[in-house]
Structure 1
Amino acid sequence: MRELDLKPAYQNMKRPVSVPGGISMLFMVLGVFVMLASLWLIGLGGMAAKLVLLGFWGLMIVPHLMQARLNGGDWAALFILCGLIGVVAIGAGGLDAKLRLIGNLLILPLGLICGALIGRDCLRVMIPALVIYLPLASVFQLTHDGWRLNHPFLFLGLFGLCCVAGLAGRVFGVIGLISAVAVMLSQTRIAVFALLMVVVGRINLSRAWTWLLGLPIIIVAGFFVVNWLPRILMTHGSGRLAFWQMFWADWQAGSDSQKWLGFGAGSVETVLQNLPSAAAFGALHNDHFRILFETGLIGAVLWVLAWGMLIWRLRQARLAVCILGSVAVTMVTDNTLSYGHYLLCCGMAAGIAMHEVTHGE
């Protein structure tokens, strides 16, 4: 199956991203400040931050999209995405909730396109912004399970970007290692599992040194986890299962139109807000189930088709498949669909990995 014909967009890729006016250095500096601003806007609820992400990176890919040619697979993926957005738009729910969900759905594809078209120059913007922001915003929080480091998914996104930095320098390797340790210190089980999936995609399993060095590292890491990070090995669901069962019963009891088109964007939050016992739960913590509940069977089918199409399009790049697979896994027990920066970073990393494989870099 033939991939995107992106040769015009990839000419002279060794120089920084070509933007109107040829001000590549200004682009990078401006981009870092814009990304820093978007990171600080997370505290306002996240929507403002996502608008910045969509606006900035949407503008950056316009010159490249004008030179790229789409094939049948690309048009099919675009059709599926538009179909899912259409289901959200015509379904129940308020306009604000619909716009939030549509914005969430666009972040990962946007990152993927940026990585595939712009390439590693994305790293010159995202990695410095995260490296500046995370040390300032990261703190250890005391919970009923002990001390945990916050921002596990931002660290996970940074780790994914560092995995595709390649020969850009050992500095990125150090940053990636620190990010991996930070994810472990967060003791967020699904984030740690996603981290391991990305690692599997990054290492060469056919080399003897991988096993000779890997097994001792796994043994030492296992000892460290058992003795210092016990929460990672806990199997409790923090009450998630009970709420999933409740929403499943509500979906089954819904009308035919609700089963096919869902209860509408924002309906999950509305239900939880009306339950005093669920006020602290905040969200469903299962994005796949959320799509089924809010967009119905039609939306769920399009959602599965979208993921299948992405995996199929990236099948030649093992690292890209592992990165996207890790994102899908995190959505099983978390609200990853609303983590804009994490989705953008993973999309960029997968796109860059695909570009390097398909173009022999």
Structure 2
Amino acid sequence: MNGNRTTASFAKPGIGKPHLGKPHLGKTDRRSGQNARRRLPIWVVIAGNGVMATSFWLLGAGGMLAKLVLLVFWVLMVAGSLRTIRLGPGLLTGLLVLAGLTGLIMFGNGAGDEKIRLIGNLMMVPVGLVAGAVIGRDCLRILMPAMLFYLILSSSFYLTHEGARLNHAFLFLGFFALCSVCNFGHRRWLMMATAGAVFLSQTRIAVIAMLINAIGMIRFSRAMTWIAGLIGAGIVVGGVMAYLPRLVMTHDSGRLAFWKMFAEIWRDGSDGQRWLGFGAGSVEEILSQTASFGSFGALHNDHFRILFETGIVGALLWGTGWAVVILIVRQTRLAVCILLSVFVTMITDNSLNYGHYLICCAIAAGISAQEGKNGEPVRND
């Protein structure tokens, strides 16, 4: 260590010199098991909470403003730590992939504002991942109080033909990811309350993603884990069957019909459209011409959306980018599970549009990758 600076490198945990063959996001202090870095000044934390609160309240206004405030703030926070970041093969590859995908969108078809919107959404995960790695748990001091305050004040149930559902499913899911790497005394109670909120949202993909995240926290070597886990799983399944029927329904909510329609459009497109895409915003433009646009509104499959809007080239870059970030954090099981949970939500939802959710999960994964050792979950005791 040099002073209190932490280098975001690709070093094997517990070894002083960086080893480029072992992807890792940083070095840890052997004595404490936590990153030896200077804590952020209290005025930065307070100001950061104010910016985050502003960003959350702007969500009600719609549009890009809320996500723009969020992204610009964390880009500035990362920029303040640039001197601590060392480019290794994994990080350099990720930057090149991101630059390639960004260039493909910018010089491809589509309206200018849609291009900016898509690029901004794509930036959330890499920016959050780097922020979590170089700033550490101070990110939680900036993000969690404002987020908790917003969730308490703005959460409510709304009635559907499938019963009452709690709103903000993906914000609660992002908050759960942050809880999984925090270390204050009563975090388990807060995590249980957050998990309950995700269940009450009756959003199936959110529940699945939360369970994937939870797998990264479980120590499977303990017999008590299996005993308590089986009993708890039985209780949860019984409660879901009795009181949350939507979670066990098998309908596709009309997704398959739209996926088939877009698959046919993509197949019948020109060679240029299949390889380079129909352009940013083309999915919404086509959907707006259908009678179901008001109720459906989006494709509900981000992976397919990337293929449709950026073509085969963009899809290859997209898949490579995900492979790179997983490889970078692969030595920490919790970080891998958090990123995989995000990847899974993108199969049946529009997670790429949920900037706050993405950056919460990415920050949590970055913190976990920075602090975890040898594939074990981050210790929070």
Look up the match of 2:172.
Answer: 155
Letter in 1 for 2:251: H
1:246 aligns with 2:256: no
Pairwise CA distance, 1:145: 0.7
Aligned to 1:16: 39
Residue 202 of structure 1 aligns to a residue whose secondary structure is: coil
Partner of 1:2: 22
2: CA distance, partners of 1:106 / 1:349: 16
Runs of 4+ aligned structure 1 residues displaced above 6 Å come to 8-11
Deviation at 1:279, TM superposition (A): 3.2
Determine which structure has the larger helix proportion and give its number. 1
- 1:312-342 superposed Cα distances (whole Å, 9 cap, x missing partner): 1111010011000000000000000000010
SS at 1:315's partner residue? Answer: coil
SS at match of 1:277: coil
How many angstroms does 1:306 deviate by?
0.6
Once the two structures are superposed, the pairs formed by residues 169-188 of structure 1 within 5 Å of their partners are: 169-188=184-203
Cα 1:46/1:348, change in 2 over 3 Å: farther
- In 1, Cα distance between the equivalents of 2:302 and 2:47? 33
For 1:191 and 1:131, the matched residues in 2 are separated by: 18
- What is the total number of aligned residue pairs between the two structures? 352
* One-letter amino acid matched to 1:66: R
2:227 corresponds, among 206, 212, 219, to: 212
1:43 matched to 2:52:
no
Identify the residue that residue 62 of structure 1 maps to in structure 2. Answer: 79
Residue 291 of structure 1 is aligned with which of 302, 306, 312?
306
The answer to whether the 8 Å contact 2:199/2:207 transfers is: yes
State the one-letter code of the partner of 1:117: V
Q: CA deviation at 1:237?
A: 0.6
**Equivalent in 50, 57, 61 of residue 33 of structure 1:** 50
The answer to whether the 8 A contact 2:28-2:371 is kept is: no
Cα distance change, pair 8–313 in 1 and its aligned pair in 2 (3 A): closer
Counterpart of 1:141 (choices 149, 152, 158) is 158
CA contact (8 A) 2:23 2:327 kept: no
Match of 1:328 in 2: 343
How many Å separate the matches in 2 of 1:176 and 1:299?
37
Displacement of 1:46: 4.1
State the match for 1:257 in structure 2.
Answer: 272
CA distance in 1, matches of 2:26, 2:79: 13
Which residue does the alignment assign to 1:20?
A: none
Write the deviation string for residues 36-78 of structure 1: whole angstroms up to 9, x where unpaired: 1101111222410111111111111112112221111211111
Matching of residue 271 in structure 1 with residue 259 in structure 2: no
Preserved contact between residue 5 and residue 70 of structure 1 (Cα < 8 Å): no
Q: Which runs of 5+ in 1 are unaligned?
A: 18-23
Q: Does 1:195 align with 2:210?
A: yes
Q: Which range is displaced more, 201-210 or 39-48? A: 39-48
SS of equivalent to 1:141 = strand
2:70 equivalent to 1:53: yes
Q: What amino acid is the match of 2:94?
A: A
Query: In structure 2, how many angstroms separate the alpha carbons of the residues matched to 1:84 and 1:300?
Result: 9
Residue number in structure 2 paired with 1:114: 131
Query: SS at 1:164's partner residue?
Result: coil
Aligned partners of 1:214, 1:103: CA distance in 2, in Å?
Answer: 39
Q: Which runs of 5+ in 2 are unaligned?
A: 1-20
Bigger Cα displacement from structure 2, 206-215 vs 295-304: 206-215
Q: CA deviation at 1:4?
A: 5.7
How far the C-alpha of 1:5 sits from its partner, in A, is: 7.3
Partners of 2:362 and 2:90 lie apart in 1 by 18
Alpha-carbon distance in structure 1 between the residues aligned to 2:53 and 2:88: 35
For residue 320 of structure 2, what is the amino acid of its counterpart? L
Question: Residue 2 of structure 1 aligns to which amino acid in structure 2?
Answer: K
